[in-house]
Amino acid sequence: MGRRIELKTMKTTDKKHIIAFVLIVAILLVFFFYVFKTLTGKEGDFLQFFLINLLPCVLIASGDFFIVNAIYKYLKIRNIYFHITLDLLISSLFSVVVIILGNMIIKGLPDFDSNPQIIKSSIFIILWNSIVVLLIEIFFYNQRQISSENKIAVMEKERIQYQYETLKAQVNPHFLFNSLNILSSLAYEDAEKTNLFAKKMSGVYRYLLLTNEHPIVTLKEELAFLDSYIYLEKIRFENNLLIEIRKNTELNRKVIPVSLQLLVENAVKHNIATSGQKLMVHIEISAEGIIVSNLLQLRKTADRGGVGLTNLQNQYALYNKTIDIIKTETEFIVKMPFLD
């Protein structure tokens, strides 16, 4: 389906280029008719002149296009000045040959001495042809720029995606280490809780594996994953970590996978969560988006790099969305939009 849409778009673009190309040729033909008429003082029927010369001029301009394209494709000349000079030289010779052949077909072998009008016409055709060639060069230059920008955009998208995948992968070693320690402790205390902990832990890693192939997920899927993650963190921090979730919207809205988990992890990683300073994290989900907030009680040894939030912002930027980060003296707030 995507391939069909791409081909359809390419065909539509090609049609637009062809129409624009013919219109430019026609406009230049009109312009040069009046210039030729003014400089030579020769009268003539404009409509007849236009209809007679339109097809040959379109053929010459098409030949110019193929000449320029062939030089770009096969010669690969790096010096732009030499490249344009060669384009103009070859295309001008081509246009003069077309004009002479056209006159031979219509009037027979031309006599340049008795009919100097052919020379004057050739000079104007060369001037007209030079403008056409320069316009074609501008077209090719624009196409190269667009292609270059698209390649850069794809590379940037891949780079951001790689950074995000790397960030998600970081959940594995740290989280696994802490979870296995807790699991080993629970095994001696409560068999039922150990079993539930293992299932939640399995659910977390299953989600991380599945989302490698899904750039966006539903809010329902993300909240189910977050529930497993919060359960494991509450076993670790006990009553020192309090997380409140309020849902006031449909759960089929779209978000970046692991985004809510990263915001909760960010709050846990950077703030103190002890019996003396309980850490409260609020998650407000409404039709406008998601707000994750927590009181600031920063750890002295916490990493201030903010790599997780930066990568998350870059991910949302790929969808032309922004994440608002508000930091006051007492509170840290992140406002995250939906992707639909």
pLDDT digits (tens, 9 = 90+) for 47-86: 666 666 777 777 888 888 888 888 888 887 778 788 888 8
Contact 311/256 with Cβ under 8 angstroms? no
Mean pLDDT of the chain: 77
pLDDT at 270: 87
Of residues 286 and 127, more confidence is placed in 286
pTM of the model: 0.53
Give the start-to-end residue ranges of the domains of the chain.
2-153, 190-336
pLDDT digits (tens, 9 = 90+) for 296-308: 988 876 555 566 7
Residue 143 has pLDDT above 70, yes or no: yes
E strand intervals along the chain: 217-218, 241-247, 254-255, 279-286, 289-295, 324-327, 331-336
At 334, the pLDDT band (50, 70, 90 cuts) reads very high
d(C-alpha 321, C-alpha 313), whole Å: 8
Query: What is the Cα Rg of the chain in Å?
Result: 35
At 120, the pLDDT band (50, 70, 90 cuts) reads low
21-35, 104-118, 250-264: least confident range = 104-118
Joined together, the tokens standing for residue 184 give 């080993």
d(C-alpha 228, C-alpha 230), whole Å: 6
pLDDT at 284: 94
Of residues 98 and 259, more confidence is placed in 259
Q: What mean pLDDT do residues 141-161 have?
A: 74
**Residue 254 three-state SS:** strand
C-alpha distances (whole Å) from 91 to each of 82, 84, 96, 98 are 14, 10, 9, 10
At 7, the pLDDT band (50, 70, 90 cuts) reads very low
φ and ψ of 93, to 5 deg: -60, -40
User: Which of the residue ranges 30-39, 124-133, 179-188, 305-314 has the most confident prediction, judged by mean pLDDT?
Assistant: 124-133
Q: What percent of the chain has pLDDT over 70?
A: 72
Of residues 29 and 232, more confidence is placed in 232
Helix axes of 259-270 and 307-317: crossing angle, nearest 10 degrees: 160
Assess if CATH 3.30.565 describes domain 190-336: yes
At 1, the pLDDT band (50, 70, 90 cuts) reads very low
**Residue 319 three-state SS:** coil
pLDDT at 336: 94
Of residues 142 and 53, more confidence is placed in 142
pLDDT at 220: 92
At 324, the pLDDT band (50, 70, 90 cuts) reads very high
Residue 132 has pLDDT above 60, yes or no: yes
Contact 99/121 with Cβ under 8 angstroms? yes
Residue 10 has pLDDT above 50, yes or no: no
Terminal CA-CA length for the chain: 21
Residue whose C-alpha is closest to residue 302's, from 273, 282, 260, 325? 273
Contact 110/100 with Cβ under 8 angstroms? yes
Joined together, the tokens standing for residue 299 give 């750890």
pLDDT at 164: 57
